[in-house]
Structure 1
Amino acid sequence: MRRIDVIGIGFGIFAAGGIIYLILQYAGLDSISAGIWSQALLVGGLVGWLLTYLFRVLTKNMTLAEQMRNYEDAVLQKRLEEMSPEELEKLQAEVEQEKRQSAGN
């Protein structure tokens, strides 16, 4: 994310708070109540966003983690494509031997 994007998002949140405040005043709340409710809504939104971010971190469903998985899968696929049939048979035999050993334990 670029610096200008962060500034734009910050300005947008600031403007949203002002708009919510004006809407609440128009709806009949006095200025103090409208200010409290607009702050409560903005803080609630921030906490909600933070919870979704923490959920993505804990489930490793973030962009960087996905890019790393895709890269690792692509590297492994390329290595498998470059292997000769004899190397593939040897690798398959090793995998099956490990499966039998882990099933025996």
Structure 2
Amino acid sequence: MQVNISGHQLEVTAPLREYVESKLKKIEGHFDKITNVQVIMTVEKLKQKIEATLHVPGKEVVANAEHDDMYAAIDLLTDKLDRQLKTHKEKTQKVLQGATGR
């Protein structure tokens, strides 16, 4: 999994980078077919915003979160990504198993 982390009006420090990468490793444990991740961190006045795009076979998973604290925003973001990936994984497993919509 290739991870690209960038910041707008924010310097991405080593602890921030390590925290994001550790959270993404946990997500990769649930869905191992992630090829590329683009993370953008932004500061707007008092809000810390983070957006991520995960590239998986057949789909792009996009989520964003904002909070007063960047670490809390990262936690919110990874929770959203994890839920979306679980849903995507369940759908692909149903298709592979030949489930019908009855």
TM-score tier by shorter-chain length is 0.3 to 0.5
Structure with the largest fraction of helix: 1
Under a length normalisation based on structure 2, what TM-score does the superposition of the two structures give?
0.37
Relative contact order higher in (CA < 8 Å, ≥ 6 apart): 2
Structure with the largest fraction of strand: 2
Q: Which has the larger radius of gyration?
A: 1
Under a length normalisation based on structure 1, what TM-score does the superposition of the two structures give?
0.36
